[in-house]
Structure 1
Amino acid sequence: MGQGEGEGEEEALLIGDRSRPSHEKSEIPRDSFHLAYIIYFTLGAGFLLPWNAFITAVDYFSYLYPETSVDRVFALVYMLVCLVSLLLIVAYSHKSDSRVRINIGLILFLLSMLVIPVMDQLYIKGRTGLLPGFYVTVASIALSAVADALAQGGIIGSAGELPERYMQAVVAGTAASGVLVSVLRILTKSIYPQDAHGLRRSANLYFSVSIVVMAICIIFYNVASHLPVIKYYKDIKMQAISEEKNVSSSLTGSAWRSNLWNIVGRVKWFGFGILVIYVVTLSIFPGYITEDVHSQVLRDWYPIILITCYNVFDLVGKSLTAVCLLENSKIAIGACFARVLFYPLFLGCLHGPKFFRTEIPVTVLTCLLGLTNGYLTSVLMIAAPKTVRLQHAETAGIVLVLFLVIGLAAGSVVAWFWVL
């Protein structure tokens, strides 16, 4: 998935040139052993892994709380809490340090992941219908959403300050987390019996793996700041900020709001494209795929296979930008809006001709949904931060995540219309 060192250095020069202070350019440090790329890939996987663990353990939560629409409640709570948190972060990001925000976010992720296995051992113990357990689970999802806003906004903002290969690494990492959890789900369903004991062991495995990965992310993130290539670009950013302060007043109050709106204006169409991508995607996945389509042949394997197909093709799409990046942003944004065609196609899988309601059309459409989601997300995430000055790339990244989460929240609401 990585690009060659020569390409990476050429991109680095372009990034530095767009707002590089007027001094002699020093030699760009190499990303030895692609360590920085691996770290950003792992961070991308880390901040989406908790959400993927929750939605992939759907059969466990559905077993515990049979009277609730688990998928849709989880998605709605997660996205709305994350949205509110991001709005606060955008408003006050200039008064806080991104490194502190990211570390707090990763630690909160770790705590939210601990809730499920601890509660299972001390309270649930395989019993069903315990609504207090459901409320605690929803609260842990809300905590995870706050962590997501802190960590994802900061990590994507940080990657936006670097050459495009690092943003591609983060975005591909988000897809890899889905693939990892799906593979774990297939293995556990194959190995463990589908009874109360087997479902408990499966869910505990997902969350245990998430806890381990999150601990690795905390270590990796704090190691990254000491890598020469990362320090090089951080130094450039700090010099750009210093030069900006020399010619303008400190960005506080009305000056900060004016600057923020200027950033939003530059990235808004990229943001609208990302918003539309995730309205379409989340209104179909995972609720429609796990609750509304059925297979007499594959039975309870069917939603698991569909989720895995989506995640694999999402990873393929997000990895393709490492070798073939669409440069025309207008075409990419137009393709985002064209994805609304998935609505009538998936509707046909529910109410259309008999062939459309079989496994092959649903699986093909699910793969296409993942592929287009992954590729277009990666294209827009890479392109948008490059439209602003280097010292504003972090804020641009947070704004993009805000658009993304608005799309996810709206998609979570639209998902309910499949059952109306």
Structure 2
Amino acid sequence: MGLFIGNGADAPLLSSISPKIPKDTFHLAYIVHFIFGVGFLLPGNTFITAVDYFSYIYPGVNINRIFTAVKMVVCFITVVIVLGWARKSSSYLRINIGLALFVASLLTVPIIDLAYVKGRVGLYNGFYVTVAAVVVCGVANGLFESGVVGAAGELPERYMQASGAGLAASGVIVSVLRIITKAIYPHDASGLRSSANLYFGVSIVIMVICLICYNISNKLPVIQYYKDLKTKAQEEEEENDKPYLSKSPWKSSLWDVTRRVKWLAFARFLIFVVTFSIFPGHITEDVHSRILNDWYPILLIACESLFNLVGMSLPAFYLIKNENVVVTASLARLLFYPLFLGCWYGPAFLQTEIPTATLTCLLGITNGYLANVLLILPPKTVPIQHAEAAGIVMVVFSNLGLSVGSIASWLWII
């Protein structure tokens, strides 16, 4: 019989296998997974958050839409490749290479600014190099996210929840940085360069922290325990020379794992299509306020990021485990399209700040909660030796949704 780490009715508890599960002393493993979550999106968020700087030196370019689409598509392709080679590749190697590439991509912008652009406007060769850095960032994101989510899928639910909360926290971090820099730096070449360098400097430091934390956390007893558990389950499966759960309607293969989680994967895909076809492109470039002026998109992004963090944190207190409810709630988010269209083309009272801000907050909190639930549930529906595969499948569908959503965001300006 195989080993499950979920809490489903048909899943045996780990305590029935071994009562000596190591304690997560000082919640170190939880904190480290939160930091990993910050690392998922922080580099990409940094490129997008520096939109004021990039828009100033590269006028006439849709920075947010281009950077988002390039990064998401490259990340999706990378994750698909990882999925095909997951059994032959090491998550340890993928995560370390991903973090190193993150640092390299983030270093590119300050170096280009210092050595070539120097705050001058219209040097589009610098833009092309920056897009190349975004491509590297996308590759890094695919390697790092697939490795961390796959590994967290083999652990109890709380560690995946921590990663999700950290992911949302990265958005809050860059939003706060953008508010601070906009308040203290002048809106000229010097001020924009200083703010951009601050964004990238902070991100580089955090990615180095992620690199150190990962290589330390790999040796924590609680992490090692579940790794050993997976290894034993794999050995049992090989000794039996047959798929685990032979009475199950699906066999232990990548295709069967995908079939098992297909509706959850579709729901996660749909969540990100809806969110990223609206945010950040539509919210940052297509809505305007006479009262708040250029502060309006910044505050809207901060609202979305903050409520996304709230939503990502809620599964720690209440986790919906009914797949039908989660999928239905994901479909219901399609209502955001007519609602946001109303804020753009509808009656005058809908085009004011309060309705738009309210919808943005709802977009964030529903995205955060449902996305995290859909990251937690799938690995718990399969044996532990296939939890990594289930996690990577969800990452594939996540990035497919992000890619489709970021490309679909262009429809708002057609």
Asked if Structure 1 and Structure 2 have the same fold, meaning a TM-score greater than 0.5 normalized by the shorter chain, the answer is yes
SS at match of 1:288: helix
Alignment partner, residue 119 of structure 2 = 126
**Which position in structure 1 is the counterpart of 2:409?**
415
In the alignment, is residue 405 of structure 1 matched against residue 393 of structure 2?
no
* Match in the other structure for 1:341: 335
Measure the CA separation in 1 of the matches of 2:6 and 2:309: 28
- Matched position secondary structure for 1:128: coil
Please give the residue correspondences for 1:57-136 in structure 2 after superposition, counting only pairs within 5 Å: 57-136=50-129
1:333-356 CA distances to partner (integer Å, 9 max, x unpaired)? Answer: 111011010000000111100000
How far apart are the structure 1 equivalents of 2:13 and 2:292? 57
Q: Distance in 2 between matches of 1:281 and 1:13?
A: 28
Shift of 1:380: 1.1
Q: Deviations over 1:56-92 (max 9, x none)?
A: 1111111111121111111111111111111111111
- Cα deviation, 1:195-215, whole Å, max 9, x if unaligned, reads 111111001101000000000
Aligned-partner residue type, residue 386 of structure 2 = H
Aligned to 2:348: 354
Contact map agreement 2:6 2:380 (CA 8 A) in 1 = no
3-state DSSP of counterpart to 2:261: helix
Going from structure 1 to structure 2, the CA distance change for 1:12 and 1:21 (only over 3 Å counts) comes to closer
Unaligned runs of 5+ in 2: 245-250
For the pair 1:389 / 2:389, whether they are aligned, the reply is no
Q: Which amino acid aligns with 1:38?
A: I
CA distance in 1, matches of 2:157, 2:18: 19
Cα shift at 1:377: 0.5
Aligned pair count? 404
Please list, as runs of the form range in 1=range in 2, the aligned pairs for 1:162-241 lying within 5 A after superposition: 162-241=155-234
Matches within 5 A, 1:296-315: 296-315=290-309
**Deviation of the 1:267 alpha carbon:** 1.0
Q: Which runs of 5 or more structure 1 residues have no equivalent in the other structure?
A: 1-10, 252-256
Paired with 1:32 and 1:388, the residues of 2 have a C-alpha distance of 28
Provide the secondary structure at the position in 1 that maps to 2:291: coil
SS in 1 for 2:377: helix
Tell me, in whole angstroms, the C-alpha distance in 1 between the residues paired with 2:71 and 2:12: 36
Shift of 1:327: 2.0
Matched, 1:287 2:281: yes
- Residue 6 of structure 1 aligns with which residue? none
Distance 1:350 1:24 in 2: 57
Task: Tell me by how many angstroms 1:18 deviates.
Answer: 4.3
Contact 1:171 1:318 in 2 (8 A): yes
**Partner-residue secondary structure (3-state), 1:233:** helix
Letter aligned with residue 70 of structure 1 = I
Instruction: Indicate whether 1:262 and 2:270 are aligned.
Output: no
> Which residue pairs with 2:238 in the alignment?
245
**Partners of 1:276 and 1:395 in 2: CA distance:** 20
CA RMSD of aligned residues (A): 1.9
Distance 1:351-1:398 versus aligned 2 partners, 3 A rule:
same
For 1:405 and 1:224, locate their aligned partners in 2 and report how far apart those are by CA, in whole Å: 26
The answer for the alignment partner of 2:248 in structure 1 is none
Alignment-mate amino acid for residue 370 of structure 2? L
Q: Distance in 2 between matches of 1:280 and 1:93?
A: 29
Counterpart CA distance in 1 for 2:88 and 2:35 is 27
Q: Distance in 1 between matches of 2:61 and 2:310?
A: 33
Partner of 1:150: 143
Note if contact 2:7-2:380 (Cα within 8 Å) is conserved in structure 1.
no
Structure 1 residue 23: Cα displacement: 8.9
Aligned residue type for 2:382 = V
After TM superposition, the runs of 4+ consecutive aligned structure 1 residues lying more than 6 A away are: 19-23
Q: What's the counterpart of residue 367 of structure 2?
A: 373
Partner of 2:56: helix, strand, or coil? helix
Match of 2:311 in 1: 317
CA displacement at 1:128 relative to structure 2: 1.1
Query: 2-side partners of 1:261 and 1:107: how far apart?
Result: 31
Which residue is equivalent to 1:8?
none
Letter of the 1:381 counterpart: L
| Contact kept? 1:19, 1:390, Cα under 8 Å | no
The one-letter code matched in structure 2 to 1:280 is V
Instruction: Report if the CA contact (8 A) 2:15-2:21 is conserved.
Output: no
CA contact (8 A) 1:21 1:243 kept: no
Residue matched to 2:247? none
CA separation in 1, counterparts of 2:202 and 2:210? Answer: 12
Question: Equivalents in 2 of 1:399, 1:326: separation in Å?
Answer: 20
What residue in structure 2 maps to residue 25 of structure 1? 18
Separation in 2, partners of 1:21, 1:293: 51
TM-score (norm 2): 0.94
Q: Write the distance in 1 (CA, Å) between the matches of 2:108 and 2:40.
A: 17
